[in-house]
Chain A
């Protein structure tokens, strides 16, 4: 059949193919049928047999529990934080103590995706403090990530004492009505108690990748980053063998076996491993 070089794809060809008809499929099915070599059967069945004999670490299969894990953790954190907030509101000494802790150098920041600790919002929503303490709290122009030492934090406070008016003017005043919106800025200005921060970090850490059958299956047999992938390694072994370098091929195969002790070798490599093979490609 002749036609222009770039003819429009033929929809009838596709329709035939999708219904299992057409010359292409006829030739492919009748003439080009390869079957899996029988030598592959036993290695695969052995893997399946060995897998049944392995100790099983039961993963939580209950999707119900997994779906509720994060909401339950959020609820628990909220209850805990509300309890602390109420305690802080009732006790002026505790309020002052929390503020002092907030002014101290913060620990390394939590992951960006983690929500701001609810306790910080509790501080923001507390009744107004004395003007001096308020001014000191507002003086935090540097982001938390840059504050590494107590000396730097102390220097900030000293600057605040020396020029409180200018720096307070630069920093926006706290807004009790916008506690949620201010949460990211609050996380830069203050630090939650370390214990709570650690607990929150654990609760809101990125969830492990969904272990759907597909995702985990694709990765189940992946080699660790430091090891060459198995197929590529074995291809290299075969290349050495075929190039008439059997000793190097065997040495590589030995290293491969150490790296992948569970791997079942195909018959051609078993022969190489046992020393029974001669180089496939002989030098002229």
Chain B
């Protein structure tokens, strides 16, 4: 990022390609809508780019990126009456190519149910999950971003994981 700040576009492209997929999934799982996720994705990168001169390496780049993303997501959710919409069929989960058709269908169904359960979580729990899994942030970083304590984040994650597991309790004995 410092290199991009100094005018090196290739440096930005490297950063972009490294982080774009997790960031896109963060928005997609956060809002449950592809078009909105795409807009938020673009807005987030635009905000990051336009603040390049203010960037200082006091924290990890990932932390900075997801702090912007967090604010975009929260602002968007606050403006909407319904936080998520059902995922479209184009969000078909990918299956391992070596699986047979029955296994593929079963895996896809499990993944769909998991994603629906994730989308049904309260925003705070869902976002804690996504920031940890997609953003790779530490509990402390997530807590600082959310303005709560570390134990609160742990509690949110516990409840989120229990709900996700319970949704698929017939699959996982």
Which A residues are closer than 8 A to B by beta carbons?
Answer: 1-2, 7, 9-11, 13-14, 17-18, 22-25, 27-28, 30-37, 40-41, 43-45, 47-49, 51-52, 56, 58-59, 61, 211-214, 216-218, 220-221, 229-232, 234-235, 238, 264, 266, 268
Q: A231: shortest Cβ distance to chain B, in Å?
A: 5
B43 contacts chain A at the CB level, 8 A cutoff: yes
A2, A9, A43, A216: the one within 8 Å of B54 (CB): A216
A9, A22, A61, A268: the one within 8 Å of B35 (CB): A268
How far is it, in angstroms, between the C-alpha of A61 and the C-alpha of B5 when the chains are bound?
13
How far is it, in angstroms, between the C-alpha of A230 and the C-alpha of B115 when the chains are bound?
27
Pairwise interchain contact A17-B55, C-beta atoms closer than 8 A: no
New A-B pairs, 11, CB < 8 Å, besides A48-B4, A214-B67 = A9-B161, A14-B157, A27-B168, A31-B108, A45-B9, A47-B49, A52-B9, A217-B48, A230-B43, A231-B36, A231-B43
Pairwise interchain contact A34-B25, C-beta atoms closer than 8 A: yes
- The size bracket of the interface on B is 35 or more
The contact sample of 26 A-B pairs, CB cut-off 8 A, is A7-B162, A9-B161, A13-B158, A14-B158, A23-B168, A27-B110, A27-B168, A34-B28, A36-B24, A40-B38, A40-B41, A44-B46, A45-B13, A48-B13, A51-B52, A212-B54, A213-B55, A213-B56, A214-B64, A217-B47, A217-B54, A217-B68, A220-B50, A221-B47, A231-B76, A235-B35
B42 contacts chain A at the CB level, 8 A cutoff: yes
Query: Known interface pairs A45-B13, A232-B79, A238-B35. Does A28 touch B155 (Cβ–Cβ under 8 Å)?
Result: no
Most B Cβ at <10 Å: residue of A52, A229, A268: A52
Pairwise interchain contact A218-B161, C-beta atoms closer than 8 A: no
With CB as the reference atom, state the residue of chain A lying closest to B173: A1
Which residues of chain A have C-beta atoms less than 8 A from B72's C-beta?
218
Q: B112: shortest Cβ distance to chain A, in Å?
A: 8
Pairwise interchain contact B9-A48, C-beta atoms closer than 8 A: yes
Which residues of chain B have C-beta atoms less than 8 A from A13's C-beta?
158, 161-162, 165
Which residues of chain B have C-beta atoms less than 8 A from A1's C-beta?
165-166, 169, 172-173
Pairwise interchain contact A217-B51, C-beta atoms closer than 8 A: yes
Which residues of chain A have C-beta atoms less than 8 A from B12's C-beta?
45, 48
Pairwise interchain contact A218-B71, C-beta atoms closer than 8 A: yes
Pairwise interchain contact A217-B64, C-beta atoms closer than 8 A: yes
Pairwise interchain contact B165-A24, C-beta atoms closer than 8 A: yes
Decide if the interface of chain B is mainly helix, strand, loop or mixed.
helix
With CB as the reference atom, state the residue of chain A lying closest to B41: A40
Which residues of chain B have C-beta atoms less than 8 A from A47's C-beta?
42, 45-46, 49
Pairwise interchain contact A40-B24, C-beta atoms closer than 8 A: yes
Q: B136: shortest Cβ distance to chain A, in Å?
A: 10
Which residues of chain B have C-beta atoms less than 8 A from A23's C-beta?
165, 168, 172
Q: B116: shortest Cβ distance to chain A, in Å?
A: 11
With CB as the reference atom, state the residue of chain A lying closest to B4: A48
Which residues of chain A have C-beta atoms less than 8 A from B107's C-beta?
30-31
How far is it, in angstroms, between the C-alpha of A28 and the C-alpha of B76 when the chains are bound?
24
Which residues of chain B have C-beta atoms less than 8 A from A266's C-beta?
35, 38-39, 42
How far is it, in angstroms, between the C-alpha of A14 and the C-alpha of B96 when the chains are bound?
26
Pairwise interchain contact B161-A27, C-beta atoms closer than 8 A: no
B53 contacts chain A at the CB level, 8 A cutoff: yes
Q: A20: shortest Cβ distance to chain B, in Å?
A: 9
